[in-house]
Amino acid sequence: MLFPFLARPLLAGLTAIWLLLGSALPAWAEFSLPPLPYASTALEPAIDATTMTIHHDRHHGAYVANLNGQIAANPALADLSLDALQGQISAFPMAVRNNGGGHWNHSQFWAVLAPAGQGGSPSPELLAAINKNFGSLEAMQAQFNQAAAARFGSGWAWLIRKPDGSLAITSTANQDNPLMDLPGIERGVPLLGLDVWEHAYYLKYQNLRPDYIQAWWSLVNWKEVNGRWVKAKLPS
């Protein structure tokens, strides 16, 4: 039995050697919780610091821990990136679907947000695509808001780039997302995803989900969304 203070550096060293040898990640390589890219207070007043801290540290943290808890029973997880897992999720049990989806969804969620006034605006190219598909930015937002408000129970609203290159608004239940190879999912590359689980807003907004949705738009990190749009157009 290794002393705890020796075990972590030893594992880190073994991981580095393994990667240098070009092998797939070993079974003891785990998924990790990304830090928030800003302070927990940075999105106030639209999203309060307490909600951000609980949401990131406890909820997202639990998805990561629970996903790692599935590796022993599902060793194929060790060979998949978090992105790749989404497209093969049907091959795994529900616990991997829920927690693997939860990890991916929340990782994108923090990244598509920025403090108010710092997120920029849609690029001319993305705006042209939005105008072509929805008529206007406002019309896209109205359709997105409707999908987010109408999602019964817990889930997500998404702006996606479909395989045919068009943009669409869709919604998924629980921790599913548009990358998943599941029946009933409108598939595409997510450009922007909104968490409408009550844990995302209830402390401040209680039952007023539409108010949360409206305030959330002031936080969208369009610089990140623009980059996702460019990347989504690249051949896979």
Q: Applying CB under 5 A, which residues contact Fe ion? A: 195, 197, 200
The residue number whose beta carbon is nearest to Fe ion equals 195
CB of 59 to Fe ion, least distance (A): 5
Cβ proximity of 65 and 210 under 8 Å: no
Alpha carbons 216 and 46: distance in angstroms, whole number: 6
Q: What's the order of all strands across the beta sheet hosting 155-161?
A: 167-173, 155-161, 189-195
CB of 100 to Fe ion, least distance (A): 14
- 122 vs 178, beta carbon nearer Fe ion: 178
- 17 vs 49, beta carbon nearer Fe ion: 49
Taking phi first (over 0 means left), then psi (-120 to 50 degrees means alpha), and beta for anything else, what does residue 153 get?
Answer: left
CB of 6 to Fe ion, least distance (A): 36
CB of 177 to Fe ion, least distance (A): 12
- 54 vs 142, beta carbon nearer Fe ion: 54
CB of 218 to Fe ion, least distance (A): 19
**Residue in the block written with tokens 């989504």:** 232
- 134 vs 197, beta carbon nearer Fe ion: 197
CB of 55 to Fe ion, least distance (A): 6
- 57 vs 83, beta carbon nearer Fe ion: 57
For the range 142-149, what are the long-range contacts, defined as Cβ-Cβ under 8 Å and sequence gap of 24 or more? 143/169, 144/169, 144/192, 144/194, 145/210, 145/213, 145/214, 147/171, 148/194, 148/196, 148/209, 148/213, 149/196, 149/209, 149/210, 149/213
Which tokens in the block code for residue 156? 């997500």
- 29 vs 89, beta carbon nearer Fe ion: 89
CB of 105 to Fe ion, least distance (A): 7
- 27 vs 33, beta carbon nearer Fe ion: 33
Helices in the chain by DSSP H: which ranges? 4-20, 49-53, 61-68, 82-87, 94-111, 124-134, 137-150, 202-205, 209-216, 222-232
